[in-house]
Chains A and B, each alone.
Chain A
């Protein structure tokens, strides 16, 4: 029992916090469950994107923002050419996946140059990617890139609007196969989609290729002696992660139905990392189970904490800051725990 508690300290801590938060928030279970399902759909795949880099010993891949950006580029292109509906989403996904394949390849090569400092490098790559994306769509669009859709351009003729309406794609995947139980809506198709992604990741980990990820994650030099092309496997891990993140962002955006062009992707990496860690993953160990448990625990806390803050301290902002603290603090704590264990 004691061993179990020690091993699952982080998830147990989150369960405790969630229960406390739920009690103090005074929210109805129905509301929380609906919100949970919604958030599970929005963020589920993003968390899955983190698993393979962790197993491959690259740590938390904060550069999944780049995958998210690729998805946004895809959507902006189909919006620019005004292709709506399922065709639009398919084309956006295709563009996004191709872009994230190349982006992943570049990021993987970068990370091979900075072995041992992958995580901080992925953060910086994420920031740099964001700036370049801003440069393209805030300055390049309308000047170098010709605009085809006047609705998404700023009135000065240069740059995409901060907020773009995605009327043609709003919830079109969510609406497939929805089952209603009482007042709780269950979008079966989306849940199936996420489970399929989870199974793909699980399959990838357990095939011979996945064994390679695990081998280089455990000991890079030994893996090299065993004849594994370490550099290439690391690049593959990042490519898979980036492409998964791209899918995740496509689903996130169609669920929201609006795209805040320059900020939709921010913090997605922090919340994803905090989620998987809340589910009991560490910097070098993760599984699909951790990801799913983590999404539930982390987002449960996210839903209840502002209201709990309001009730406890008469201030919504306290709860908001508290949940931001939990997101960053979880990651800081995991990093500290990891380095104490290594010694």
Chain B
């Protein structure tokens, strides 16, 4: 194996150069860079766990989890449960996470059973499991038995709102924890710490016996099977773990964003996350935490900085278009690289 952990490939170089150009042009346009830098830090912690959630499945050799919406819906469900009890602050967030983990394990188990049947076509199958899961949950949201009026349509009092405000519940609980300001740059220490703990937990998990077994499957499935590892069980565990992390990830995201978005909102959520980890240098194989952090930071920086520039150019759609092009071009590039390796 070549030295994988810290090398920087062509796509990262392109992205970094692109970022530098963006930063310089933003500087010339008189956009406040300090605000942008603190914004990138928030967005790193906001999206980091969602990206981290791809790691277990990548390590098990299953590939990118395009079925991330399954995990996200578990998190949304968890948060809605906490909201239903009108829990506030840290308690509300903690209970959301707790519920999310429970739902994550439950749905993750079912998801993993389905995925075990899709040997060899996991990526495309997970995409469509994610896609078809969303309308199913939308039907649930219409009929959901929640009672807190803040979550329901104001008229009629039945059916969940597409966008539930978290103001007064647990909006920004992590963002505002130990938030310090150095030279005008706000650093959300508590939020970043939360992300770091999650990363650490995943790292520790892959040091345990079962974690090592999962890594072995990712390296060589045939061999691990012969070595007496229960391949299907390990894969299931990695899928469940991915789903649970996805659920926690959306909780962290929502408390920072300030809203829970239901219905079709999580539809395309998997693609930015996948793109982020690929920008970090992963090519669909074993993933490291370094790749998660670097990739998320670069990806989110592009977005944060291109929004004010696009507004300055009076074409606000430009930021979103550029983001989509980067997202999909990187995923496509990774597909080519993997194809070449196998050939």
Residues of A within 8 A of B (CB): 59, 110, 113-117, 119-121, 123-125, 127-128, 130-132, 134-135, 138-139, 156, 158-159, 313, 315, 317-318, 321-322, 324-325, 328-329, 331-332, 335-336, 338-340, 342-343
| Interface of B: prevailing SS | helix
- CB-contact partner of B121 in A125, A128, A135, A335, under 8 A: A335
Q: Which of A124, A125, A324, A331 has the most CB of B within 10 A?
A: A124
Q: Pick the 10 closest A-B CB pairs, nearest first.
A: A328-B132, A332-B128, A325-B135, A128-B328, A324-B135, A131-B324, A114-B339, A329-B132, A328-B131, A321-B135
Contact A128 to B128, CB < 8 A, known contacts A321-B139, A325-B135, A325-B139:
no
Inter-chain CA distance A336–B342, complex, in Å, is 24
- CB-contact partner of A124 in B136, B138, B332, under 8 A: B332
Q: Nearest B residue to A331 by beta-carbon distance?
A: B128
B129, A340: Cβ atoms under 8 Å?
Answer: no
Is B2 part of the contact surface with A, judged by Cβ < 8 Å? no
Contact A340 to B328, CB < 8 A, known contacts A138-B317, A331-B128:
no
- Across-interface contacts of B125 in A (CB, < 8 A): 332, 335-336, 339
Is B8 part of the contact surface with A, judged by Cβ < 8 Å? no
Binds A, one of B74-82, B91-99, B112-120, B205-213: B112-120
A113, B329: Cβ atoms under 8 Å?
Answer: no
- Across-interface contacts of B134 in A (CB, < 8 A): 324, 328
Inter-chain CA distance A116–B342, complex, in Å, is 10
Is B35 part of the contact surface with A, judged by Cβ < 8 Å? no
In the complex, number of A-B residue pairs with CB atoms less than 8 Å apart = 126
Contact A156 to B314, CB < 8 A, known contacts A318-B139, A328-B132, A339-B120:
yes
B135, A328: Cβ atoms under 8 Å?
Answer: yes
Contact A138 to B119, CB < 8 A, known contacts A117-B339, A125-B332, A336-B125:
no
Inter-chain CA distance A340–B327, complex, in Å, is 32
Contact A128 to B325, CB < 8 A, known contacts A110-B336, A332-B131, A335-B128:
yes
- Across-interface contacts of A110 in B (CB, < 8 A): 332, 336
A336, B118: Cβ atoms under 8 Å?
Answer: yes
- CB-contact partner of B142 in A134, A315, A343, under 8 A: A315
A325, B118: Cβ atoms under 8 Å?
Answer: no
Is B242 part of the contact surface with A, judged by Cβ < 8 Å? no
Q: Nearest A residue to B123 by beta-carbon distance?
A: A120
Chain A to chain B contacts (Cβ below 8 Å), 5 pairs:
A120-B127, A123-B127, A139-B317, A329-B128, A335-B118
Inter-chain CA distance A134–B310, complex, in Å, is 15
Q: Nearest B residue to A319 by beta-carbon distance?
A: B139
- Across-interface contacts of B120 in A (CB, < 8 A): 116, 339, 342
Inter-chain CA distance A128–B86, complex, in Å, is 42
Q: Digit string of B319-343 for contact with A (CB within 8 Å is 1, else 0)? A: 0011011011101100110111011
Q: Nearest A residue to B339 by beta-carbon distance?
A: A114
- CB-contact partner of B132 in A123, A130, A138, A325, under 8 A: A325
Inter-chain CA distance A59–B342, complex, in Å, is 20
Nearest CB in chain B: distance from A159 CB, A: 7
B315, A131: Cβ atoms under 8 Å?
Answer: no
Inter-chain CA distance A121–B315, complex, in Å, is 30
Is B318 part of the contact surface with A, judged by Cβ < 8 Å? yes
- Across-interface contacts of B119 in A (CB, < 8 A): 339, 343
- Across-interface contacts of B127 in A (CB, < 8 A): 120, 123
- Across-interface contacts of B331 in A (CB, < 8 A): 124
Contact A113 to B336, CB < 8 A, known contacts A138-B321, A158-B315, A335-B125:
yes
Inter-chain CA distance A313–B159, complex, in Å, is 12
- Across-interface contacts of A127 in B (CB, < 8 A): 271, 324, 327-328
Is B124 part of the contact surface with A, judged by Cβ < 8 Å? yes
B329, A128: Cβ atoms under 8 Å?
Answer: yes
Is B299 part of the contact surface with A, judged by Cβ < 8 Å? no
A322, B332: Cβ atoms under 8 Å?
Answer: no
Inter-chain CA distance A105–B174, complex, in Å, is 50
Q: Nearest A residue to B119 by beta-carbon distance?
A: A339
- Across-interface contacts of A335 in B (CB, < 8 A): 118, 121, 124-125, 128
B328, A328: Cβ atoms under 8 Å?
Answer: no
Inter-chain CA distance A131–B319, complex, in Å, is 11
- CB-contact partner of A139 in B124, B321, B324, under 8 A: B321
Task: Knowing that A328-B134, A329-B128 touch, tell me 6 more A-B residue pairs with CB under 8 angstroms.
Answer: A117-B335, A117-B338, A158-B314, A328-B128, A328-B132, A339-B121
Nearest CB in chain B: distance from A342 CB, A: 8
